[in-house]
Structure 1
Amino acid sequence: MGFFKDLFQTKKSQDRQTVESAEEPQTPASRKMSANIDYILNSFKRTQDLKVRVLNKGEAALMFIETLTDQGKIQEMIFTPLETGKFDSINEIPNSKITTNIDEAINSLLKGHAIFLEDGSDEISLFNVTSVFNRSVREPENEKVVRGSHDGFVENVMINVNLVRKRIEHKDLVVKFYKVGKKTNTNMAVMYMDGIADPVIVQKMEERIRAVKVDKIQSPGYMEEFIEDSPISPFPQMLNTERPDKVVANLMEGRIALMSEGSPTALIAPSTFFMFYQSPDDYNMRWYNGTFVRLIRFSSFLIAVGLPALYIAIVSFHFEVIPDDLITPVKSSINEIAYPPIVEALVMVVIIELIREAGIRLPSPVGQTIGIVGGLVIGDAVVRAGLVSNIMIIVVALTAISSFVVPSNELSTTLRLLTFPLILLSGTLGFVGLVLGFMFIAIHLAKLESFGVPYFSPVSPLSFRDLKDTFIRFPVFLMKKRPKDAHPMTETAVESGREWKKDGKSDQ
């Protein structure tokens, strides 16, 4: 009981705590250069990659962190202009910044800047000489599309913001930066469209980010667990993507994007369950083709979650539902298996997960070989040995394929996880357990929220208007209103569609 008491007391104290933005310390620099250098060296615990270059016979000094700076930039931006006599003073060099706050200078060193100190002056010059190593922009491996753009985010948050701004050339696109993590000082960017995004949801996002007090934040995945509504739920409440076009589409609906330095993944909030089944390909192809593909994805949800449980319930409790022509093949397939179907299913599902994990962790050529050869060899061997029925092999294979149809890898993992409790329920209670399992999932989805927005919207609460882009995809010119679940301040997205005339007649 003490644990829960402490937990609730901690929660109450957090609710009472006023969230304040972190302010940079204000420590004035000394006019003695040696005092400033000692202060900076002691602040960095005299780390050996912090270099001090004494200039002008000991009257000035240049400091920089060797592992963060580009030596070529230091020579080009600082020393070459002074040696050529182009500038009489280092303070005259363009793109330099002057500060009298020594803590600001320390933070600049951590960003890869060089600082110039002079004896008898409390002014410190800052120069941006950061060494940049960026991965080239290319299509994300886990979110490929047939049609559409083929560029993706990288590990540099500034480049990622640039990719979004190139697609939204409008002054209403707002970008706000936050430093999160006491030790890592991770740069995070929040993006939204002013006038479209709900200010209440924007405020919630900002408050939750400011409330995070941890030593490290390495990726949006770290941040997600701190700011989502229900971290205990197996369902992701923020859509993650590496595609700029997907971020842009959601920003234009009134949602918010969260990016982090060092990660190519962007988080989108508020998110709904049906957003995880939408893909840019749905809108890049004909609307009826997009509808057909989307219906296949939704059917894959039922197959991935419920097919093994349904098979176990039938062969264990409800053999009468099998058609007469299939009774003999099914019975002969499972008749020689020494243990019940629930054990058979659990063993095969675990084997599939092992093969999947092995394929991911191993190098690409070896991983593909393990996935194909391992699956074929193990599948054939266990059937020949009489350990697993051939029908169970088919059921588990269909389940695995269906889980990979989901465009979101995170939701795909959730579906595979939900397979285990449903197998246990159907193996003990039959159809009753299967129904109870799906009822629990439906109730949980209806109860879940993402930043105050119903997670199962537009089904619960029901919105007929938003069903145009849920199970099916209507033509874009008919989706004139933004979805309600995003709480957009401006609902109209399409003012004029096909009002042009064809052969003198309106197309409408």
Structure 2
Amino acid sequence: MVSEDSVVLTTNLDENIMILREVFVHSEDFMVDYTSYQNKDSFLIYLESLTDKKLMNQEILKTIYINNEKDKQNTLPQAFIKETNSIKEISKFILEGNSVLLKRDDSLATVYQSQLINERSIEEPDSETIIRGAHEGFVEALGTNIHLIRKRIQNPRLKVKYFSLGNDSHTKVAMIYLDHLANKKTVTKMEEHLAAIDTDFILAPGHIEEFMSDNFSIFPSMLSTERPDRTVANLMDGRIAIIADNSPSALIAPVTFFSFFQSPDDYNSRWYFGSFIRFLRIIGFLITIGLPATYIAIVSFHFEVLPTEIVFSIKSSLEYVPYPPLIEALAMQITLEILREASIRLPNPIAQTLGVVGGLVIGTAVVEANLVSNTMIIVVAITAISSFIVPITEMGSSIRLLGFPFMIMASLFGFIGMSFFLMFVIIHLCKLESFGTPFFAPFSTLRWAEMKDTIIRIPLPYFKNRPKDTLPQKKKKTDN
């Protein structure tokens, strides 16, 4: 295997071809086609699996044949990129789908653009549907995703910086921010994190997030979205976006806890309806982590908090259940997670059938078999519905996991155990940071003026300042 880092082309054509064959380990999709260039033996080299043959014939070979007798200035096709003698650079261009022309008695290779482009059409992402607003989502092509952002922010100060991550995969990654808004220290910190990633391959933004995260918290430190409008809104607040090639999502940083409960629909609707939906999401978060634990605590320790009639009803449904409420709750929650995961992996028609039939059959059967109480079925159903109200999938997964330690603490110590664990979670949230930004702001920073876009959303005319948590260079939204 040839190390191409410091190797350059020579004037020996056969030797140059042999070096490139060894670089690509004699792969069978490595093509070497003979042609003639200015009456000299030449070879067009490319990877068949990455090259558009039609484009190569029309833009490269046809132009070379037509102008074969003319001087060099006129023989450059429109697809011409550059000339180079670096084996490393030539290999990089070939791996991107370009074609390289090697000529006899010439130590310079000519690179032509000939990538095979297979893009799916732009459509709305299934995981982030909205009622009002643009129905466009990111696709797997990095250039198209940057186009969707630039189309919405027509500002020359929108900056795009490219990185190549993965020692073997060489994944192209773009860091995007507004140069006059994003905090310089945050930009530098994220550049250092990206440059410090040392691994063989990067296949998705999820890999980048794990390498860049400063903590191992259950809560995500970066927001993942497939929506260009959500990405643009965060860029306008002074945040930074990271987009990887071959992935239809963007990572946003720095973020706060309440960023995961915001949706474009909140701002496309009237402020009072947007505030109501935002408040429902926060309530859904509390129900998801706390309702099963509250049921366990009441049944195990605190019957006195319920009216007598309800106590008798719950007691009668629990009379024949042979194990404690914690086992009952854990069994139903784990069963629900299994059903959820199975419905995701199956084709849509089968998944819908599995969800409805599985839920009804299992729910009815376990109650009739006296394995689970009727009340627990209701609790689990409400918890499951509440977990789906969070707009960002990663936060929804974190919330569901957080419910399990709450149930354990409730079964051991009742409401006292729940209170102590809730205090621990709040302290943890206050301690967390996302690239220098307090994760639980504005509550942890006690900036009451910024509550206008947390649990509720006030009318848009009152959003005169950008969030202070990102430390933007320009605080007022009216500044140019």
TM-score normalised by length of structure 1: 0.91
Give yes or no for contact 1:30–1:121 (8 Å, CA) kept in 2: yes
Residue 50 of structure 1 corresponds to 30
Give yes or no for contact 2:30–2:47 (8 Å, CA) kept in 1: yes
Give yes or no for contact 1:81–1:87 (8 Å, CA) kept in 2: no
Between the aligned partners of 2:77 and 2:40, the Cα distance in structure 1 is 21
Deviating more after overlay: 266-275 vs 39-48 = 39-48
Give yes or no for contact 1:479–1:494 (8 Å, CA) kept in 2: no
Residue 351 of structure 1 corresponds to 335
Report how far residue 267 of structure 1 moved. 0.3
Give yes or no for contact 2:141–2:246 (8 Å, CA) kept in 1: yes
Residue 10 of structure 2 corresponds to 30
The aligned amino acid for 1:155 is E
Give yes or no for contact 1:449–1:455 (8 Å, CA) kept in 2: yes
5 Å matches for 1:144-159?
144-159=129-144
5 Å matches for 1:61-460?
61-85=43-67, 88=70, 89=72, 91-96=75-80, 97-230=82-215, 232-460=216-444
The aligned amino acid for 1:341 is P
Residue 505 of structure 1 corresponds to none
Give yes or no for contact 1:304–1:416 (8 Å, CA) kept in 2: yes
RMSD of aligned residue pairs (Cα, Å): 1.5
The aligned amino acid for 2:16 is N
The aligned amino acid for 2:155 is H
Give yes or no for contact 2:339–2:355 (8 Å, CA) kept in 1: yes
The aligned amino acid for 2:409 is L
Q: Summarize the Cα distance change of 1:131–1:125 in structure 2 as closer, same or farther, 3 Å threshold.
A: same
Between the aligned partners of 2:60 and 2:292, the Cα distance in structure 1 is 68
% same residue: 45
Give yes or no for contact 2:60–2:79 (8 Å, CA) kept in 1: no
Between the aligned partners of 1:29 and 1:91, the Cα distance in structure 2 is 22
Report how far residue 28 of structure 1 moved. 2.9
Are residue 39 (structure 1) and residue 24 (structure 2) matched? no
Helix, strand or coil at the partner of 1:282: helix
Report how far residue 58 of structure 1 moved. 7.3
Deviation per residue, 1:441-491 (Å, 9 max, x gap): 111111111001110001101111211111110111101000011111100
Report how far residue 325 of structure 1 moved. 2.7
The aligned amino acid for 2:25 is K
Report how far residue 197 of structure 1 moved. 0.2
Helix, strand or coil at the partner of 2:288: helix
Report how far residue 435 of structure 1 moved. 0.7
Between the aligned partners of 2:456 and 2:250, the Cα distance in structure 1 is 26
Residue 489 of structure 1 corresponds to 473
Between the aligned partners of 2:132 and 2:366, the Cα distance in structure 1 is 41
Between the aligned partners of 1:467 and 1:177, the Cα distance in structure 2 is 36
Between the aligned partners of 1:307 and 1:494, the Cα distance in structure 2 is 44
Helix, strand or coil at the partner of 2:127: coil
Give yes or no for contact 2:142–2:246 (8 Å, CA) kept in 1: yes
Between the aligned partners of 1:374 and 1:492, the Cα distance in structure 2 is 53
Report how far residue 87 of structure 1 moved. 7.2
Between the aligned partners of 1:449 and 1:440, the Cα distance in structure 2 is 16
Deviation per residue, 1:263-300 (Å, 9 max, x gap): 10100000110000000000000000000000000000
Give yes or no for contact 2:137–2:227 (8 Å, CA) kept in 1: yes
Residue 475 of structure 1 corresponds to 459
Give yes or no for contact 1:305–1:422 (8 Å, CA) kept in 2: yes
Q: Summarize the Cα distance change of 1:87–1:235 in structure 2 as closer, same or farther, 3 Å threshold.
A: farther
Report how far residue 234 of structure 1 moved. 0.6
Residue 21 of structure 1 corresponds to none
Deviating more after overlay: 82-91 vs 108-117 = 82-91
Between the aligned partners of 2:64 and 2:93, the Cα distance in structure 1 is 22
TM-score normalised by length of structure 2: 0.96
Between the aligned partners of 1:495 and 1:81, the Cα distance in structure 2 is 51
The aligned amino acid for 1:446 is C
Give yes or no for contact 2:177–2:240 (8 Å, CA) kept in 1: yes
Deviation per residue, 1:147-194 (Å, 9 max, x gap): 000000001111100000000000110000000000000000000001
Helix, strand or coil at the partner of 2:128: coil
- Size of the alignment, in residue pairs? 472
Between the aligned partners of 1:202 and 1:60, the Cα distance in structure 2 is 46
Give yes or no for contact 1:184–1:216 (8 Å, CA) kept in 2: yes
Give yes or no for contact 1:270–1:450 (8 Å, CA) kept in 2: yes
Between the aligned partners of 2:166 and 2:8, the Cα distance in structure 1 is 25
Helix, strand or coil at the partner of 2:441: coil
Residue 60 of structure 1 corresponds to 42
The aligned amino acid for 1:466 is E
Report how far residue 318 of structure 1 moved. 0.6
Give yes or no for contact 2:5–2:87 (8 Å, CA) kept in 1: no
Give yes or no for contact 1:336–1:386 (8 Å, CA) kept in 2: yes
Between the aligned partners of 1:344 and 1:82, the Cα distance in structure 2 is 75
Give yes or no for contact 1:87–1:93 (8 Å, CA) kept in 2: no
Q: Summarize the Cα distance change of 1:69–1:152 in structure 2 as closer, same or farther, 3 Å threshold.
A: same
Report how far residue 26 of structure 1 moved. 4.9
Deviation per residue, 1:309-336 (Å, 9 max, x gap): 0010001001111112312211111122
Report how far residue 86 of structure 1 moved. 7.9
The aligned amino acid for 2:190 is M
Between the aligned partners of 1:107 and 1:324, the Cα distance in structure 2 is 75
Report how far residue 229 of structure 1 moved. 1.6
The aligned amino acid for 2:17 is I
Between the aligned partners of 2:384 and 2:422, the Cα distance in structure 1 is 19
